[in-house]
Amino acid sequence: MAVTNPSELIDKRIADLADWRGKMLANLRKIILNADAEIIEEWKWMGSPCWSHDGLICVANAHKDKVKVTFAQGASLPDPDKLFNNGLGGNKWRAIDLKEGDKINASALKNLIRAAADCNRAVRKGKTPAKARGIQPKLRKKQETPSGSRRNGAR
């Protein structure tokens, strides 16, 4: 019988990684689940452990020389402890690449997980991530010409 429960699939992935990457993934999973009691484990994209709360929070993948944790809305999240070390130039996602021997700052990671859940909740309530952080976008007023038409030629 095939395993289809996401938590069981993640258990199997961890067990199949018999080296440091399995231990790292297990530790990450424990920290993520302890950060927010409402986090849901998922299995997406043909083999990626994912965690969600009101939307995708992060995805973890074991690569040959690292374990990568990618945050879907990473660019919108505060990272005062500078955990993000990959994808820093993008406007959406950010990642944490962990190599053999790296230590995880559990407290800082929990803060990122909670901030991601808050960001997801804000988006679901119709606020943009910027508004959720208190950043107000500048809106341009449409300029009217003396005849009452808009500058771009529309009437």
27: CATH: 3.90.1150.200
- Tens digit of each residue's pLDDT (9 = 90 or more) over 20-61: 999 999 999 999 999 999 999 999 987 899 999 999 999 999
Determine, yes or no, domain membership for 155: no
Host domain of residue 36: 6-132
Residue 143 placed within a domain: no
Q: Per residue in 62-118, pLDDT tens?
A: 999 999 999 999 999 999 999 999 999 888 999 999 999 999 999 999 999 999 999
- Asked whether residue 22 is assigned to any structural domain, the reply reads yes
Q: How far apart are CA 95 and CA 30, in angstroms?
A: 18
Instruction: Compute CA 44 distance to the chain's CA centroid, rounded to the nearest angstrom.
Output: 14
- pLDDT surpasses 60 at 137: no
Given pLDDT bands bounded at 50, 70 and 90, which one contains residue 129? low
- Considering the domain boundaries, does residue 1 fall inside one? no
Answer yes or no: is pLDDT of 142 > 80: no
* 85 within domain boundaries: yes
**Whole-number percent of the chain with pLDDT over 70:** 79
Contact between 113 and 39 (Cβ < 8 Å) = yes
- Total domains, the chain: 1
